[in-house]
Each structure stands twice: as C-alpha cells, then as structure tokens.
Amino acid sequence: MSVLLFRSIGFDRAARRYLKKNPAAAADLEIALRRLADDPAQPALRTHRLKGTLEGSFACSAGYDLRIMFRMVRHEGKEAVLLQTLGTHDEVY
C-alpha cells in the first residue's frame, strides 16, 4: 500500500529548523518518510493515533526522539498523508 505524502508549510519549516540543529538526523528522517509513504502502519514507525486537542492526527517515530505528526487525507480518491509538523516528543505534543 503506497500513499502520497504532502508536506505542509509548517512541516517544511519545522524540518529545516530541526535539521539545522541536528544534521545527523537527516538520514533517519528520510528513512521514516520512505517508510511512511510505503505503509503508514509499519511497526517500525510506531504509528499511533493522537488524543485530546490533537485528535484526528497521528504521530510516528523517525528516530530516538524525533516524531512526525500527520493526518490521513484523501487526494483524487486515493489515501494520502498530510505531514503537519515534526520535532522532539515535547515539541510535537
């Protein structure tokens, strides 16, 4: 099951800021995005549904303390992933 990935402006901004401080995390982020495009439910991503004010969104792991927050959306009749933001556990939640 392959899905399209759409990056929000907030995701791009957060990614630039995070990678500027942590350039070694670029490889982990690339691997996580590839896995997310292949199958958002892969066990290696540890994808989970968020609750409370973030209800409707999901988060997955892209490294030790790097999280990607996203929503599942429809685009031209197909399932897609809208990347919302990324950061450490404390920054995202």
Q: Give the model confidence (pLDDT) of 74-92 as tens digits.
A: 999 889 999 999 999 888 8
CA 12 vs. chain centroid, Å, equals 11
From CA 73, how far away is CA 93, in angstroms rounded? 21
Q: Fold for 4-92, please state it.
A: YaeB-like fold (3.30.2310)
Residue 84: the pLDDT is 97
Q: What is the pLDDT of residues 30-78, one digit of tens each?
A: 999 999 999 999 999 999 999 999 999 999 999 888 999 999 999 998 8
CB 58 within 8 Å of CB 48: yes
